[in-house]
Chain A
Amino acid sequence: MSFNAFLFQALNGLSAASGLFFVAAGLSLIFGVTRIVNIAHGSLYMIGTYIAYSIATKVGGAVGFWGGIVLTALLVALIGAAIEILLLRRIYKAPELFQLLATFALVLVINDATLWIWGPEDLLGPRAPGLTGSIEVLGRRLPTYDIFLIFVGPFVLWMLHLALAKTRFGRLMRAATQDREMVGALGVNQAMLFTGVFALGALLAGLGGALQIAREPATLATDLIVIGDAFVVVVVGGMGSISGAYLAAVIIAEVKALCIGLGVVNFGGFTVNFSKLTLVAEFLVMAAVLIARPYGLLGREQVAVRSVAEPEEPLRPATAATKIAGLILLVVLVCLPLIAKNSPYTLVLGIDVLIAVLFATSLHFIMGPGGMHSFGHAAYFGLGAYGAALLVKWFAAPMGLALAAAPVLALFGALLFGWFAVRLSGVYLAMLTLAFAQIVWAAVFQWETLTGGSNGVLGVWPSAPFDSRGAFYFLTLALAVLGVFLLRKFLFAPFGYAMRAGRDSPLRAEAIGLDVKRVHWLAFAIAGAVCGIAGGLFAFAKGSISPETIGVSRSIDGLVMVLLGGIQTLTGPIVGASVYAVLQDFMMRSTEYWRALLGGIILLLVLAFPSGIVGGFVKLISRRKTTSKAAS
């Protein structure tokens, strides 16, 4: 690649960086002030592309295009404000991650709403009136619209800086980012501030989306792609730092552009195809940055948030009633093949649910008692599934051996990734785990010769005597019960106490001689290994495994299951996984708009049970107990 071509790619990268920056800046502002990780921010961007497309094509001309961009940004700001007022305001007192669950539900609802309004086809907008030409730069043609985008990014950055420094609203935002409770005690209505910040963040997302229609078509897949990129940018730049977001957006866009530009390069006999690295480049950058600078390039250590939620109840060993209920459930599960003789599908669903339970319980192990919110639990699921499937594919290994290898491979993966992850906390830990999961996913996707690439590994069927559905169901049941029981045992052993001590007060735990990082690292590894079993079972249950089954959506599914059940109870993940798996299955079969329905149900559950389904019941019972005590 010539030096000129290199520079040209760098210019391309700069124009891509602007759009990335808008979304990331909005996400960062919202997180800073409200501490909400707004997963739906990519959806706001997506709505922006569709609305701008509609205005530009319906109105037409320069007014439709340029006026449409401004109008779109304002409309999306209104949508953001509405989301804050109607939904999020009701759950500010819920545990932080619950708000994340609510915004995830919004992603589902918004995606289906967009499908319903605009249809499934990609929509290519008109070219920007007045900027349709291109100019020659370094011997190549660069569209003038791209040059416009290169300048829009820094311009908005400058405007944001001015707004944050020179306006009262900006000062309030900066103050609230640090200590929102104190801002309230000084007479500032937080609700107004939060609505304002949400509107501003949404405005930026809508603007970013609207500006893209002249470059790329509006599509329904945008929401998750954009939110993934935006997260990476925010974390690399440092949460809450607007300049950091711009810097990170430029770095990531540049790295991606250069990977495309480099193409296939020969390093003394080794050929490396850099364009294949684009999928994983940003995550490699993020992992490297987080390992070297745990709070991002321009970020600072997060001040402990003064939580408005009530303190958590400690975990208690199962009561007699819970034990009996568990036993009854177990008997029912053992009898399920008999009960469901006439509907073989019930067993298929049963296997799915059991695998989901094992997956969610292992995630809960590190999230709840460990306090480590992993956003990349799919990595260990994937390592288990691919470990088992590849042994069968390449070595024709028997199922027993393959299933035994699944947790081992996942364990090694978790030991490696966990070593880095436990050095971080909060959102940064979440993002690093996400990065590792994406790296696993990309490796599987790109390493075609080993893994079959996007086709996956086929023909991974259970061998005798588990080749009947009933027998495999029993195997899954046995392993799921064993896994859940094992994790429970760990939690009520001194190791589990140490884990919780390290979560609640790392400093004091260290002071009494606990090596908190080591304890959490081991917990991470244990959870990974158990999750690997779930992955192995999954591969055999489906007979195949492909990259899409171990992507981001699986990690998110796990989070939803854990949060839906309630993070501070041990039965929570079991209930959450069962409810979610059955709901998802039922809805996918009954309606085209299953996402919206599922999202709607999650929203209702979030509003009705702000501490999860099981947590909600526990509270209800304890409240009844105290009232009856007071009455007597």
Chain B
Amino acid sequence: MLSVENFGASYGAAQILYDLSLQVGRGEVVALMGRNGAGKTTTMKAIMGLMAQSTGKIRFDGHDISGKQPYEIARLGLGFTPEDRRIFSDLTVLENLDIGRQPPRKFSDGVPAPVWTEEKLLALFPNLGEMPNRPGGRMSGGEQQMLTVARTLMGNPLLMLLDEPSEGVAPLIVELMANTILELKKAGVSILLSEQNVHFAELVSDRAYVLEKGQIQWNGTMAELAENIDIQRAYLTV
């Protein structure tokens, strides 16, 4: 579905990612694990075409997307949910959803991808359903987190880049996020999520990559990582 090869990215003179390679298969949930500053967000942004300087090859659903504009990448069915949510605070919940709207799409083999509508999403996130006309700026962090996920789903993505969905939200919302990810997986959406928390990742992911100092240090199944205390101690726990 998504394959990243020998990927590097820099900001100004500072190189942030080195020779990074990773794959996400169709219908898979893959966790990108690492501490703050390891390069998780940069990886997500670079895949989405949001980093000015990057090298290497990225393929998505049969297309070469390296060097493409963010909107072109999004239109191929790659959804991006940023860590800082980036809700349009002047726009209402429904208006925010409308900005993300894209036509229904198919996988390259002709299988139709799951289609999302406002009704479906407001049912999936009942909190949002209670405040369709509230401006994004007057929502809590957890509500904004739901909205940013819902907004990305309005584009009917084949694969979602989910940057730190459990960060800075209440335990109840974390649980909701985990359930949502499993729902999405069931619907056939692939997910690459970045995460610091092993327990959260364990709940939802099939496989994991561990990132530190802009390089992949380890990869394997989520179950292996959950048992490997040494790797966790070296790269994850604070």
Q: A186-B99, A186-B151, A188-B99 are in contact. Are A174 and B70 (CB under 8 A)?
A: no
B75, A174: Cβ atoms under 8 Å?
no
Which of chain B's residues has its CB closest to A168's CB?
A: B98
- A310 partner residues in chain B, CB cutoff 8 A: 12, 52-53
**Pick the contact of B100 from A186, A189, A308 — CB < 8 Å?**
A186
Quick check: B70 and A185 within 8 Å, CB to CB?
yes
Interface string of A179-216 (1 = CB under 8 A from B): 10111111111100000000000000000000000000
Instruction: Assess whether A311 is in contact with B12, with CB atoms less than 8 Å apart.
Output: yes
Of B12, B48, B89, B99, which one neighbours A171 at CB under 8 angstroms?
A: B99
Distance in angstroms between the alpha carbons of A187 and B86 in the assembled complex: 15
B30 at the interface (CB under 8 A from A): no
Q: Complex formed: what's the CA distance from A174 to B74 in Å?
A: 20
Nearest chain-A residue to B86 (Cβ)?
A182
Name the distance in Å between A411's Cβ and chain B's nearest Cβ.
37
Q: Is the CB of B11 within 8 A of A179?
A: no
The size bracket of the interface on A is: 20 to 34
Interface residues of B in 75-102 (CB under 8 A from A): 75, 80, 82, 86, 88-91, 95-96, 98-100, 102
Q: Is A404 an interface residue (CB 8 A)?
A: no
> Is the Cβ of A178 less than 8 Å from the Cβ of B90?
yes
Q: CA A308 – CA B88 in complex, angstroms? A: 19
Q: Please name the residue on chain A nearest to B137 by beta carbon.
A: A178
| A183–B11 CB distance below 8 A | no
A186 and B12 contacting across the interface, CB-CB below 8 Å:
no
* Residue A605 lies at the interface, judged by CB distance under 8 Å to chain B: no
Q: Is the CB of B82 within 8 A of A186?
A: no
Within residues 308 to 327 of chain A, which ones have a CB less than 8 A from any CB in chain B? 308, 310-311
Known contacts A178-B88, A187-B155; is A172 also within 8 Å of B99 by CB? yes
How many residues of B sit at the interface, in one of the four size bands?
Answer: 20 to 34
Residues of A with C-beta under 8 A to B91: 171, 174-175
- Residue pair A184, B89 in contact (C-beta under 8 Å): no
Q: Which residues of A contact B88 (CB under 8 A)?
A: 174-175, 178-179, 182
Asked if A171 meets B95 with Cβ closer than 8 Å, knowing A184-B71, A187-B74, A311-B12, the reply is yes
Q: How far is the CB of B26 from chain A (nearest CB, A)?
A: 21
Nearest-Cβ distance from residue B114 to partner chain A, whole angstroms: 16
B52 touches A308 (CB 8 A): yes
Q: Are B70 and A184 closer than 8 Å at their CB atoms?
A: yes
Cβ of B151: which chain A residues have Cβ within 8 Å of it?
A: 186
* Best-buried of A171, A182, A185, A310 by chain B (most CB within 10 Å): A185
Tell me, in angstroms, the Cα distance from A342 to B193 when the chains sit together. 76
Which residue of chain A has its CB nearest to the CB of B151?
A186
In the assembled complex, the CB of B50 is this many whole angstroms from the nearest CB of chain A, namely 7
Nearest residue (CB) in A for B95 is A171
> What is the bound-complex CA distance between A571 and B210, given in angstroms?
47
B95 proximity list for chain A (CB < 8 A): 171, 174-175
A172 contacts across to B, CB distance below 8 A = 99
Per-residue interface assignment for chain A, residues 581 to 623, with 1 indicating a CB less than 8 Å from any chain B CB and 0 otherwise: 0000000000000000000000000000000000000000000
A182 to B87, CA, bound (A): 9
Within the assembled complex, what's the spacing in Å between the Cα atoms of A178 and B87? Answer: 9
> Which of chain A's residues has its CB closest to B157's CB?
A187
Is there contact, CB below 8 Å, between B89 and A186? no
Find the A residue at minimum CB distance from B80.
Answer: A185
**A189 contacts across to B, CB distance below 8 A:** 69, 71
| B75 cross-chain contacts in A, Cβ below 8 A | 187
**CA–CA, A178 to B90, complex, Å?**
8
Closest residue of A by beta carbon distance from B148: A182
Q: Within the assembled complex, what's the spacing in Å between the Cα atoms of A174 and B91?
A: 8
Q: Among A175, A178, A186, A311, which residue has its beta carbon within 8 angstroms of that of B155?
A: A186
Contact assessment for A185 and B74 in the assembled complex, using a CB-CB cutoff below 8 Å: yes
| B194 at interface by CB-CB < 8 Å | no
Chain A nearest Cβ from B129, distance in angstroms: 20
A185 and B50 contact, CB distance less than 8 A: yes
What residue in chain B is nearest A172 (Cβ atoms)? B99
Q: For the complex, give the distance between the alpha carbons of A188 and B90 in Å.
A: 18
Q: Is the CB of B11 within 8 A of A186?
A: no
In the complex, what distance in Å separates the CA atom of A183 from the CA atom of B74? Answer: 10
Contact B52 A187 (CB under 8 A): no
Q: Closest chain A residue to B12 by CB distance? A: A311
Most buried by A among B12, B71, B74, B151: B71
| Contact between chains at A186 and B74 (CB < 8 Å) | yes
Q: A178-B88, A179-B86, A179-B88 are in contact. Are A187 and B71 (CB under 8 A)?
A: yes
Taking the nearest CB of chain A, how far is it from the CB of B109, in angstroms?
A: 22
Interface assignment of B152: CB less than 8 Å from any CB of chain A:
yes
Contact A174 B90 (CB under 8 A): yes
User: How near does chain B come to A462, taking the closest CB pair, in angstroms?
Assistant: 49
Instruction: Give the CA-CA distance A311 to B50 in the complex, in Å.
Output: 15
B99: chain A residues at CB < 8 Å are 171-172, 175, 183, 186, 188
Q: Which residue of A lies closest to B136 (CB)?
A: A178
List chain A residues, Cβ under 8 A from B86.
179, 182
Interface residues of B in 101-124 (CB under 8 A from A): 102
Known A-B contacts A181-B50, A185-B80, A310-B12; the reply to A171 vs B71 at CB < 8 A is: no
Name the CB-closest residue of B to A192: B71
Q: Chain B residues near A185 (CB, 8 Å)?
A: 48, 50, 70-71, 74, 80, 82
Query: How many Å lie between the Cα of A179 and that of B12 in the bound state?
Result: 22
Cα of A185 to Cα of B96 in the assembled complex, Å? 13
Known: A186-B152, A310-B52. A178 touches B71 (CB 8 A): no
- The interface residues of chain A lying within 8 Å CB-to-CB of B50 are 181, 185
User: Which residues of chain A have C-beta atoms less than 8 A from B155's C-beta?
Assistant: 186-187
Interface residues of A in 149-190 (CB under 8 A from B): 168, 171-172, 174-175, 177-179, 181-190
Residues of chain A lying within 8 A (CB to CB) of residue B82 = 182, 185
Name the interface residues of B196-217: CB closer than 8 Å to any CB of A: none
With a CB–CB cut-off of 8 A, which chain B residues contact A181? 50, 70
Chain A's closest residue to B74 (CB) is A187
Please give me the residue from chain A that is nearest to B82 by CB atom.
Answer: A182
Report the nearest B residue to A181, measured CB to CB: B50
Chain B residue at smallest Cβ distance from A193: B71
Give the complex CA separation of A572 and B143 in angstroms.
49
Could you say which residues of chain B place their CB within 8 Å of the CB of A174? 88, 90-91, 95
Question: Which residues of chain B have C-beta atoms less than 8 A from A168's C-beta?
Answer: 98
Q: How many angstroms from the CA of A189 to the CA of B68 in the assembled complex? A: 12
**Which of chain B's residues have a CB closer than 8 A to the CB of A183?**
99
Task: Indicate the member of B88, B100, B102 with the most A CB atoms within 10 Å.
Answer: B88
In the complex, A178 Cα to B155 Cα: how many Å? 20
Q: What chain A residues lie within 8 Å of B12 (beta carbons)? A: 310-311
Q: Tell me which residues from 287 to 342 in chain A have a Cβ below 8 Å from any Cβ of chain B.
A: 308, 310-311
CB distance from A471 to the nearest CB of B (A): 49
Contacts of A311 in B (CB 8 A): 11-12
Q: Return 13 A-B CB contacts under 8 Å, by A number.
A: A171-B91, A171-B98, A174-B88, A175-B88, A175-B95, A178-B89, A179-B86, A182-B86, A183-B99, A186-B152, A187-B155, A189-B69, A310-B12
Q: Return the 9 tightest CB-CB contacts between A and B, nearest first.
A: A187-B74, A311-B12, A182-B86, A184-B70, A175-B88, A185-B70, A184-B71, A186-B100, A185-B80
Which residues of B come within 8 Å of A, CB atoms?
11-12, 48, 50, 52-53, 69-71, 74-75, 80, 82, 86, 88-91, 95-96, 98-100, 102, 151-152, 155
Taking Cβ atoms with an 8 Å cutoff, the residues of A that contact B are 168, 171-172, 174-175, 177-179, 181-190, 308, 310-311
Given contacts A172-B99, A186-B100, A187-B75, 6 further A-B contacts (CB under 8 A): A175-B95, A181-B70, A184-B70, A185-B74, A186-B80, A187-B74
